[in-house]
Structure 1
Amino acid sequence: MRDRRFLDKTSFTQAWERGREEFKTKISGHEGSVMLIATRKVITIPPTMSIKGAADTMTRYHVRRLPVVDPGTNRLLGIVGSSDIIEFLGGGEKYQIIKNKHKGNFLAAINDSVKEIMVTDVLTLSVEGSILEALEKILSTRVGGLVIIDDDERVRGIVTERDFVFMLADKITNKKAEEYMTTKVITASPGMTLGDAAKIMVRNSFRRLPVVRDEELVGILTTRDIINFIGRNEIFDKIVENRVEEVLKTKVGEIMKKEVAKITKDVDLGEVA
C-alpha cells in the first residue's frame, strides 16, 4: 500500500534531480548528503528533565521531537516526541504511568522524568548517510524523523519528513494531491473531549484531526496544539482537584486551530509542499 505522506522513491528521486542544483554541492569532512538537509543545531534534553519541561521545550522551539542525550557526552539515549506525551496524557499505554504510578495525580505525573516515556529504540542514520537512505528508512518504518549520529553515537543532526517536503516545495512533480490524499477521513467534533481525541490520535498514529460540525470543517486539532496547551500552562486552568480527568474533559473546540489551510485535489504536490 502506498504511503500517502510521501512520494514513492522513484517520484521523489525525479523531483530531487530536478531541484538538486539549488542545494550545496560541497560538504565538510566525510559527511554524507543527508547533512545537506539535516538540522544541525538540534535541541536536546537530558533524561532527568520533567515531562512538563519537555512540553515546554517543544513549545518554545516549535519542535515535535527531542533527542534525549547524556549531558556530558551528548550520546543519544532515546527520543521523546509529541505523540509520546499525547499517549501519556490518556491516549495509550503510557497513560498507565499517571493512572498506576501516580494514582491519577496530574501534577506529580507531569513532573516525573522524561525517561519514563522516552523511546529508547531510536531510528538513526550515520552522519555519512545519504538523503535517499534517510528517505527509505522513514518510509519503511513510517516514523516521522530520524537522528543523525557519529561513530560515538553523539547527536550530529536530525531529519524529519518536513525536510523532504521542503525539498519538493515549488517544484513541479506531475503528481496531483488526489493521488496521495486520504479519502476516508476520521474527524473530531468541537464538543469531543481531549481524552477521546488523544485516543483516536494514538490508535491511528495521527498527528492531526479535522474538526467538523454539521459536515462543515470548523478547525483542526494537532499534536502541537495539545503540546502548546501544556507548554503555555493553559492546562492548569482546568485543574481544581489535581486529577488528570479534569484535563481530559477539556473540549477540542477550546484548543483547536480555527484557521485551516485548504487546497483542491488537482493541485500539484510541489505546490502543496
Structure 2
Amino acid sequence: MQIKNLMSEDIITIDKDQNLSDALKLLRKHNVSRLPVTNNKELVGIVSERDIAAKLGSSKYESMPASRLHISSVMVKDVFTVPQTMQLDEVAKLMLDNGIGSVPVMDEDDQMVGIVSKADFVTLAVGIAFDKIAVKEIMSKDLITVSPTERIVHARRQMIDSHVGRVPVVDDEDLVGMITSKDLMRAFIDFRKKVPEKYQKSQIKELLVEDIMSVNPKVTSKDATISEVAKIMIETGYNGLPVVEDGNVVGIITQTDILRLIQKLES
C-alpha cells in the first residue's frame, strides 16, 4: 500500500513567526500532537508537544512566557518528508529509524499534500491478523517510571534522555498515574501565566508529578490482543497503555511498538 492511501489530507499548519500560545491553541482545538511549520506556505519545520515541553522546561527559557517564544525557536528544522507513492513499510522504517512521530507527505511538485503519523498506522492494527498477536509479544519491558513526589523538571529530563513521550507514575510498585509530554507542555505554559517572572526560577522546582499527572490511567494486560489495544488507542487518542499484572506494571505498549510490528509484517 502506498502512503497516500493512509495519510491524513487535513493538514493543520502553523507559521514560523507565530508563538507557542498559538501552537497550544491549535494542538488543543484539533487534538493533534504536532504541527508542520510553514513560511509563505513552504514547509520549513515541524513542532511537537515533546519539542515544546523540552524547550519550556530548559533553564534558557524557564522564565520566558509562551507568547514571547516564536515557533521558529522551538521547531525541528531538518524535517523528514516522504513522497506520496512510498510504500507503508518504507515510511514506517524511516519513522522508526529516526525516532519521529509523523512525516509530511509530498507530491511530485514537492508540495505538502498530507501528513502521516503513528496514530494513522495504529488504525491498520485492527483485524484478524492482529487478533492473534498478544501484547506480551511486542510490549516494551524496559520501563522508565517516576514517582508522584518527584519534580516535574526531573520527569522532563528522564523523558528527554529516554526519548519517550509518556511514563507511568508508580508509588510503592502501584500504578497511580501517567505523565505525558502533553501534561508537561500544558503545565509549563500554565505555570508561566500564573507565577510572576521573578519567582519562576525558584517555584518551578516545587511543581511535582502528582500535581499534573493523569490519575486512574487506562491499562491493559499482557494477554490482550494488539487489535484490542489498537481500538482503545483509536477511541481515546492515547499513545500508549501501561501493561499491568497483579496490580504491578510489567511493561508498556505504545504506538511505536505497534508501528514496529506493522513494519515487520508489511515488509
- 2:102 equivalent in structure 1: 145
Code of the residue aligned with 2:105 in structure 1: it is: I
Among 115, 120, 124, the alignment partner of 1:167 is 124
Runs of 4 or more consecutive aligned structure 1 residues displaced over 4 Å after TM superposition: none
Q: CA deviation at 1:244?
A: 4.5
CA RMSD of aligned residues (A): 2.2
Q: Report matched runs for 1:84-123 at 5 Å.
A: 84-90=51-57, 95=58, 97-98=60-61, 104-107=62-65, 111-123=68-80
Code of the residue aligned with 1:83 in structure 2: it is: R
Code of the residue aligned with 2:114 in structure 1: it is: G
Contact 1:50 1:110 (8 Å CA) reproduced: yes
Q: CA deviation at 1:235?
A: 5.2
Residues 200 and 239 from structure 1, CA distance in 2 versus in 1: closer, same or farther, beyond 3 angstroms? farther
Q: CA deviation at 1:167?
A: 0.9
Residues 141 and 220 from structure 1, CA distance in 2 versus in 1: closer, same or farther, beyond 3 angstroms? same
SS of structure 1 residue aligned to 2:184: helix
Q: Report matched runs for 1:230-241 at 5 Å.
A: 233=190, 236-239=193-196, 241=198
Q: CA deviation at 1:209?
A: 0.9
SS of structure 2 residue aligned to 1:241: helix
- 1:220 equivalent in structure 2: 178
SS of structure 1 residue aligned to 2:139: coil
Q: CA deviation at 1:49?
A: 0.9
Give me the whole-angstrom Cα distance separating, in 1, the residues matched to 2:161 and 2:119: 22
Give me the whole-angstrom Cα distance separating, in 1, the residues matched to 2:94 and 2:9: 19
How many positions carry a matched residue from both structures?
Answer: 229
Q: Report matched runs for 1:1-273 at 5 Å.
A: 33-70=2-39, 72=40, 74-90=41-57, 95=58, 97-98=60-61, 104-107=62-65, 111-173=68-130, 174-229=132-187, 233=190, 236-239=193-196, 241=198, 243-273=200-230
TM-score normalised to structure 1 length:
0.76
Larger strand proportion, structure 1 or 2?
A: 2
Query: Any idea what the Cα deviations from partners look like across 1:73-121, whole Å, max 9, x if unmatched?
Result: x22101111111121123xxxx3642xxxxx5322x6522110121111
Contact 1:177 1:265 (8 Å CA) reproduced: yes
- 1:29 equivalent in structure 2: none
Instruction: Indicate the larger mover: 176-185 or 158-167.
Output: 176-185
Q: CA deviation at 1:260?
A: 1.1
Residues 64 and 159 from structure 1, CA distance in 2 versus in 1: closer, same or farther, beyond 3 angstroms? same
